[in-house]
Amino acid sequence: MASQNQVRSTGSGGAQSDPRAIISFHHVDLQYDDQKALADVTFAVANGEFVCLTGPSGAGKSSILRLIAMDAFPTKGQVIVRGMPASRMNRGRIPLLRREIGFVFQDFRLLEDRSVEDNVAFAQLVVGQPHRLIVQNVTRVLTQVGLYDKRHRLPRQLSGGEQQRVAIARAMVNSPKILLADEPTGNLDPATAQEIIDLLFRVNDAGTCVFFSTHDHEIVKTFGQRVLVIEGGRLRSDERRRAVDRRASLVDHMYRAPEGAAAPAARPARREPAHA
Amino acid sequence: MLNQSQLRYLAAESLAGFRRRKLTTGVTILIMASALLVLAALTLVTLNLGTVLESARGGLDLRVYLRDDVPAEELAALHPRLLAIPGVDQVTWIDSEAALVEFRRQLGDDAPLLELLDRNPLPSSYHVTFTAGARDPESVRAIRDEVAQWTEVSEILFNQDWVNALERWTYRFQMASLVVGLLVFIAAIFVISNTVKLTIASSARVIQVQKLVGATNAFIRTPFLCEGMIHGLLAGILAMTLLMACGRLLGASLGGMVFFSAAQTAGFVAFCVLLGLLGSWAAMRKYLALRSDI
């Protein structure tokens, strides 16, 4: 088993001291009762980055997301999100931090008895936006995810991919700085997963840092721009790729590209991440 | 500060439990109203016992019987001495002849028996009453003990026994009411807390989404607290209505029983609202503390 010393880190290192980091973990341990979930995890993510977090089930991916959302707090080490250290975080301020983080989950987590429009508007209502702005913002994000025409439908009247797009619209309506996506393609077929990943790239293009957690190696191989690999609660590697082919098709990759065939021609790298 | 959209949302959510779980909500209000009815009835009886006790205390007095062999001027000199005692309100002279007339009146048809006596056996006396502040057995007993030492006094009658008994029973009843009231208080909080927990459980997804998008705990909690308060309000009104209906039905046999004043009724209903608030608070506090969002 590889040790922590073997971690190849080409990402934004020096987590605690890097002023450009929007998320930084510095030698973080997390213990749940008698079980250690994370051990000595250190990494930093710059503003506007698209990061894939991968590893097998139970490796600690969700624990990292919980720490970023401050739904859990490190047993040891330091987690800093948007300049707010978890160790000095007042519980009353957590909701304010959450307003700067969007969440997307594998199971969508939509309110089944409310329309698409109301699901998205709910995120704005909760943070106290005036009605006029709610209408404007909901219209904008639903148009961006291509669901404005279906705004009056209930979630059960939509396909899985459409429901995930509603979830992304809800996550984006408050213009968060970070989008945490926990296995967002887990319940989707490859073609729909591709649509969702494209949408997440568009969100990232608009300047939002996307933290994409998945155990799907194909997605990581095809789209991972920066890949954090976690196993057994330890960060095994932190690799940044120079170029990611945004035209690559997940469907092609999974079903059509024969083993060992030449990869599609790479496009120039996306713009460099902006710093916080 | 909440805006108009948020207020509308919170108002709708506060009433959502009533719409979604009519039966559970109805049963909760009935159970709570029954418990509160017992509490209100006990409070009412305690209030009335207090009034009876106060009235009985008003009747506390002393009859100071005087010796036959003391000259009349010395007996007359006792009047200002009695009046000078702190707590004494009025002192009335009753001479032996007047006492005999009164006794004769009380005997009624048996009055001729008094003709068998060769002299008036009744002594002269003073009837002593007390100010409101001194109308308690302890004060009156102290005055009695002081006056009993005067040489002119032969005997003192003090109607303390039944007042003491009334006080003892009132105290016991008040203690029992307190215990029952405490039990009802806990039961009402428990009933409301469980109903609100049902509402919370059925709203788990909404709460989860609220927390994810940055709602404060206060915002999440408010509709549930309002729901608990509405439960308390309705149960309190129902309990009071039932108590008034019972009062009307039993009106004649209850005699001069005093009912709650408007202010007391409002106070009782406000107390029920507070119970509802505490019940929901208890349910929410635990839930928000335990719940994980991700």
> Cβ of B79: how many Cβ atoms within 10 Å?
13
The contact set of A with B (CB < 8 A) is 62, 65-66, 69, 71-72, 92, 95-99, 103, 109, 111-112, 122-123, 125-131, 134, 170, 174, 182
**Phi/psi-derived region of residue A145, left when phi > 0, alpha when psi is between -120 and 50, beta in every other case:** alpha
Check residue B51 and give its pLDDT: 77
Is B245 at the interface with chain A, CB within 8 A? no
**A160 near A192, Cβ under 8 Å?**
yes
Among A66-70, A250-254, B88-92, B184-188, which stretch is predicted with the lowest mean pLDDT?
A250-254
Give one DSSP letter per residue of B199-245, joined into a string: HHHHTHHHHHHHHHTT--HHHHHHHHHHHHHHHHHHHHHHHHHHHHH
d(CA B41, CA B186): 17
**B56 near B166, Cβ under 8 Å?**
yes
Among A29-33, B89-93, B132-136, B259-263, which stretch is predicted with the lowest mean pLDDT?
B132-136
Spell out the domain ranges in chain B: 4-55+165-290, 60-158
Between A98 and B5, the more confident residue is: A98
DSSP state of B121: -
Cross-chain residue pair A99–B213, CB shorter than 8 Å: yes
Look at residue A111 and tell me whether its pLDDT is greater than 70.
yes
Q: What ranges in B21-159 are assigned the alpha helix state H?
A: 22-58, 72-83, 96-107, 137-148
Between B151 and A10, the more confident residue is: B151
Cross-chain residue pair B294–A123, CB shorter than 8 Å: no
What is the pLDDT confidence band of residue A2, given thresholds at 50, 70 and 90?
A: very low
Contacts of A98 in chain B (CB under 8 A): 211-214
Check residue B285 and give its pLDDT: 79
On average, the pLDDT of chain B sits at: 83
**A273 near A47, Cβ under 8 Å?**
yes
Model ipTM? 0.76
Place of tokens 């035209």: A247
d(CA A35, CA A88): 24
- Using alpha carbons, select from A60, A68, A70 the residue that is nearest to residue A31: A60
d(CA B82, CA B78): 6
* H or E, element range at B126: strand B125-130
Q: What percent of chain B has pLDDT over 70?
A: 95
And the tokens for A208?
Answer: 């939002």
In this predicted model, what pLDDT tens digit does every residue of B58-74 receive, in sequence order? Answer: 677 888 998 888 888 88
And the tokens for A194?
Answer: 């591709």
The letter for the amino acid at B169 is: W
Q: Which of A110, A125, A134, A174 to mutate to test the interface with B (most CBs of B within 10 A)?
A: A125
Q: Specify the 3-state DSSP secondary structure of A11.
A: coil
Mean pLDDT, to the nearest integer, of A249-273?
47
Bridge partners (DSSP) of residue B71 are none
Check residue A1 and give its pLDDT: 36
- Using alpha carbons, select from A181, A174, A170 the residue that is nearest to residue A147: A170
Query: How near does any CA of chain B get to the CA of A69, in Å?
Result: 8
Cross-chain residue pair B9–A125, CB shorter than 8 Å: yes
Please give the biggest Cα pair distance in chain B.
105
And the tokens for B225?
Answer: 């607290």
Q: Which of the listed ranges A37-51, B49-63, B251-265 does the model predict with the highest average pLDDT?
A: A37-51
d(CA A227, CA A230): 10
Among A54-58, A143-147, A212-216, B95-99, which stretch is predicted with the lowest mean pLDDT?
B95-99
Check residue B260 and give its pLDDT: 87
Cross-chain residue pair B212–A98, CB shorter than 8 Å: yes
Nearest to A71 among B206, B219, B292 (CB): B292
Nearest to A69 among B9, B217, B293 (CB): B293
> Cβ of B171: how many Cβ atoms within 10 Å?
12
Q: What percent of chain B has pLDDT over 90?
A: 13
Chain A residue with Cα closest to B1: A128
d(CA B243, CA B246): 5
Check residue A46 and give its pLDDT: 93
Architecture of the domain whose range is B60-158: 2-Layer Sandwich (3.30)
Look at residue B221 and tell me whether its pLDDT is greater than 60.
yes
Among A125-129, A208-212, B117-121, B221-225, which stretch is predicted with the lowest mean pLDDT?
B117-121
Is B4 at the interface with chain A, CB within 8 A? yes
* H or E, element range at A132: helix A131-144
d(CA B173, CA B169): 6
In this predicted model, what pLDDT tens digit does every residue of B16-39 receive, in sequence order? Answer: 778 877 888 888 888 889 888 888
DSSP state of A72: S
Look at residue A126 and tell me whether its pLDDT is greater than 70.
yes
Chain A to chain B Cβ contacts (< 8 Å): 66
Cross-chain residue pair A174–B9, CB shorter than 8 Å: no
**B200 near B289, Cβ under 8 Å?**
no
**Phi/psi-derived region of residue A128, left when phi > 0, alpha when psi is between -120 and 50, beta in every other case:** left
